[in-house]
Amino acid sequence: MASSFVLDREIGDRPYFRNLGNRVCPQFLEPLRHLGALGYWLFWLLAASGIYLYIRFDTSLTGAYDSIDRLEWWFGGILRSVHRYAADAFVVVVAAHLVRELLAGRFRGFRAFSWISGVPLVWLLYGSGIVGTWLVWDARAQFSFIATLEWMHMPVSSAEQAFDRLFSFFVFLHLGVPLLLLAGMWIHVQRLGRPATVAPGVQALGMTLSLLVISLIKPVASAARWDPRTVPQALDIDWLMLFAHPLMYATSPAALWAMALGLTALLTVLPYLSRKPKLVAARVDPANCNGCGRCVADCPYEAVSVVSGKAIVLAERCAACGICAGACPSSTPFRSARELVSGIDLPDLTVHGLRRRLRGALPAPEVVFRCEQASGPGIGVRCIAMLPPSFVEYALRNGARSVKAVGCGAECAYRLGLALADERFSRRRDPKLRPTVRVKRKDNEYSFALR
Ligand code: HEM
Ligand code: SF4
Ligand code: SF4
């Protein structure tokens, strides 16, 4: 299929794209790894500032505009500006998150759920922002509401005969749509183990301070009061949030529908336009599974569960990263069995095969285990967290003077691999590295020797 060819060539699941940011300028691009979490932070910032504004807000048609005007500049006024700018920042952060996932090829196969569940969030985000604009009840609100009615082919007269019930409807929408957005955000991360929904402190603080500074430099002000007898003309609008209205007037309501629905449909089917990466899902051997649940706790894609005391894998969710095999207590090379069968394993890259390759390399002054995504020589593992720590001790006790384990770039291809390997090697998580082994870390490279 032509589209599949283009997609795979242009934005395939290549480490080059994934690590591009880290190669170009690690410090500068580091925040881009946490865009989803920053989105969560902005949501909570909007909720907190919104609750205060709601307390001060007069929810009647006659009082709304004045109640916003009455906010003292140094607190309520600043909070109002923060609320508005946080909404704009939310749009930018989500757009950047979407583009980043796209460029890294993270939209298909086992990630299709995360991708597709992200698409309605864009609608809900814009919906929340646009109805928020209406609450101010100024000429900008009037312009946006009329444009929306025209887009929906609804009679504009309903905007001219503004009445209390309509205003209550706006308030209801501005509470209801963000709640739907929150529910959508929760669903969005349901197929991810340990989803990163909390932004690093420095970034959350940096974002909040930036919003405060912008609010002080350029506080948000209402336009003239909503006047049903006039049609708003020249207006200064928030282009990030309201760009669809001028776009509609420059084209037509039908053209805007075509663009909005077309883009939504394209994003939704994108995971199916591209060839799925060929993966052989992890497989469980019930005879070697004791139901301990370590594989469930470590799987980055919620692909394993324990049912009736035995692990089971949902193949369509599995990324074939092997992290579960690295977690399983039965994956130890010290077992005497000729055929090392693990409770959970990758059929195309087994723990038995790993032991065979290791034995073939021994004795040696140094044994290197290397993540497949990292270049260089060594015994390849799908992800560095596929390596059970017992393999390190096994190598050291069977003819290796030192052992190295090398992870990929700064961002793990399987989300959690680097973090899980670090917790295991630093003896904070099962399966732990034995205390008889000394460990040193330099970036994503670990060096081991016997004490
Ligand atoms: C309100 C908007 C959004 C928020 C708050 C949000 C938040 C998040 C968070 C917290 C994660 C987990 C990151 C991790 O732990 O690795 C995530 C993952 C993801 N998001 Fe979003 N997201 C939003 C919108 C979108 C949109 C619009 C798309 C694309 C259409 C998208 C695509 C993805 C994908 C594909 C992943 C999985 C990445 C992986 O498997 O490594 N998100 N998002
Ligand atoms: S290989 Fe194991 S850890 Fe990785 S996604 Fe599949 S079941 Fe989860
Ligand atoms: S880690 Fe191994 S033993 Fe434990 S539940 Fe998973 S497959 Fe079974």
**211-230 confidence digits (pLDDT tens):** 999 999 999 999 999 888 88
Answer whether residue 226 is part of any domain.
yes
One domain for residues 291 and 269: no
One domain for residues 307 and 239: no
- φ and ψ at 403, to 5 degrees? -130, 145
Say how many Å lie between the CA of residue 106 and the centre of ligand 1.
10
One domain for residues 223 and 117: yes
One domain for residues 262 and 354: no
Q: Could you count the other beta carbons within 10 Å of the beta carbon of residue 283?
A: 16
Q: Is 119 in the pocket of ligand 1 (CB under 6 A)?
A: yes
Answer whether residue 120 is part of any domain.
yes
Q: Is 301 in the pocket of ligand 2 (CB under 6 A)?
A: yes
Final residue before a domain boundary, out of 223, 240, 273: 273
Indicate the number of domains in the chain: 2
Say how many Å lie between the CA of residue 383 and the centre of ligand 2.
11
Ligand 3 mutation pick, 288, 295, 350, max ligand atoms within 8 A of CB = 295
- What pTM was estimated for this model as a whole? 0.92
Say how many Å lie between the CA of residue 193 and the centre of ligand 1.
13
One domain for residues 32 and 177: yes
Q: Domain span at residue 18?
A: 2-273
Answer whether residue 315 is part of any domain.
yes
One domain for residues 375 and 250: no
Closest-approaching ligand to the CA atom of 349: 2
What's the number of CA atoms in the CB half-sphere (13 Å) around residue 314? 15
CA–CA distance from 317 to each of 104, 279, 300 (Å)? 18, 11, 10
Tell me which residue has its CA closest to atom 3 in ligand 3.
289
One domain for residues 160 and 51: yes
Say how many Å lie between the CA of residue 315 and the centre of ligand 2.
9
Answer whether residue 78 is part of any domain.
yes
CA–CA distance from 107 to each of 97, 117, 181, 182, 193 (Å)? 12, 11, 20, 21, 17
Tens-digit pLDDT string for the chain (451 aa):
333 333 433 333 444 444 444 444 444 456 688 999 999 999 999 999 999 999 999 988 888 999 999 999 999 999 999 999 999 999 999 999 999 999 988 999 999 999 999 999 999 999 999 999 999 999 999 999 999 999 999 988 766 665 677 888 899 999 999 999 999 999 999 999 999 999 999 999 999 999 999 999 999 999 999 888 887 777 889 999 999 999 999 999 999 999 999 999 999 999 999 777 788 999 999 999 999 999 999 999 999 999 999 999 999 999 999 999 999 999 999 999 899 999 999 999 999 999 999 999 999 999 999 999 998 999 999 999 999 999 999 999 999 999 999 999 778 999 999 999 999 999 999 999 999 999 999 999 999 999 9
Distance of alpha carbon 22 from alpha carbon 40, whole angstroms: 23
One domain for residues 13 and 93: yes
Helix, strand, or coil here: 210? helix
- Which one-letter DSSP state was computed for residue 226? P
DSSP string, 398-425: TTEEEEEEE--SSS-TTSSHHHHHHHHH
Answer whether residue 443 is part of any domain.
yes
Ligand 2 atom nearest to CA at 383: 4
Say how many Å lie between the CA of residue 4 and the centre of ligand 2.
26
Overall residue count recorded for the chain in this entry: 451
Ligand 3 pocket residues where CB is under 6 Å = 284, 289-295, 306, 311, 327-330, 343-344
Answer whether residue 278 is part of any domain.
no
Final residue before a domain boundary, out of 227, 253, 273: 273
One domain for residues 265 and 394: no
One domain for residues 445 and 362: yes
One domain for residues 269 and 287: no
Q: Which of 351, 364, 231 is nearest to 288 (CA)?
A: 351
Say how many Å lie between the CA of residue 343 and the centre of ligand 3.
5
Q: Is 296 in the pocket of ligand 2 (CB under 6 A)?
A: no
CATH number of the structural domain spanning residue 206: 1.20.810.10
Closest-approaching ligand to the CA atom of 342: 3
Say how many Å lie between the CA of residue 414 and the centre of ligand 2.
9
Query: Which residue reads 């948000």 in tokens?
Result: 220
pLDDT tens for 7-27 read 433 333 444 444 444 444 444
Say how many Å lie between the CA of residue 360 and the centre of ligand 2.
27
Tell me which residue has its CA closest to atom 4 in ligand 2.
321
Tell me which residue has its CA closest to atom 13 in ligand 1.
196
Tell me which residue has its CA closest to atom 32 in ligand 1.
115
Say how many Å lie between the CA of residue 346 and the centre of ligand 3.
13
**Burial status of residue 240 (CB atoms within 10 A of its CB: 0-12, 13-18, 19 or more):** middle
Closest-approaching ligand to the CA atom of 100: 1
Final residue before a domain boundary, out of 238, 273, 308: 273
One domain for residues 364 and 296: yes
